[in-house]
Amino acid sequence: MRSLQILVVDDDDADALMIEEALAATETQALVDRVTDGREALDYLRREGSYPQARRPDLILLDLNMPRMDGRETLAAIKTDDRLKAIPVVILTTSGATPDIVASYQQRANAYVTKPFGLEAFESTVRQIDHFYREVASLPDVRA
């Protein structure tokens, strides 16, 4: 069992911290990097700008509502880029709106998870995502 390399794309410091703490509590601690908006995420994923040595993630946790470039635009860019589209993207957001859910799956999100309220529920949800992608799912080798 290997640990996952996870890219968290979320502008909310508190949510990002809760994600990192939940993943740190797992038996095979994930390696977590974080960026705060879609433009920064694409720079990271393409190893451009400030990220020439960025680690290719096994999984992306993507918030929808962010400044500069939101999660919807970011997801579309990832899933239309031949170098990036095989990386699983889980939308992890506060929005439970049907149009957001439908649009995310239409843009090829691998899963859509609404952030639960409360620390324990939030951390449990993050650990379940980690467990699924680490122990249940078969992931492509995208660490190029």
Any domain includes 140: no
Any domain includes 61: yes
Judged by DSSP in three states, 87 sits in coil
65-103 pLDDT, tens digit per residue, is 988 899 999 999 999 999 999 999 999 999 999 999 999
22-47 pLDDT, tens digit per residue, is 988 877 788 899 999 999 999 999 99
Selected residue with higher pLDDT from 110 and 139: 110
Any domain includes 141: no
Any domain includes 142: no
How far apart CA 29 and CA 122 sit, in angstroms, is 17
What residue numbers bound the domain in which 120 lies?
5-135
Any domain includes 51: yes
Choose from 69-73, 92-96, 110-114, 135-139 the range with maximum mean pLDDT: 110-114
Q: Count of domains in the chain? A: 1
pLDDT band (50, 70, 90) for residue 143: low
Any domain includes 97: yes
Give the CATH number of the domain where residue 50 resides.
Answer: 3.40.50.2300
**58 touches 37 (CB < 8 A):** no
How far apart CA 95 and CA 29 sit, in angstroms, is 27
H-run or E-run covering 9: strand 5-9
Residue 124 confidence (pLDDT): 93
Place of tokens 């709106």: 97
Any domain includes 101: yes
Q: What is the mean pLDDT of residues 111-137?
A: 93
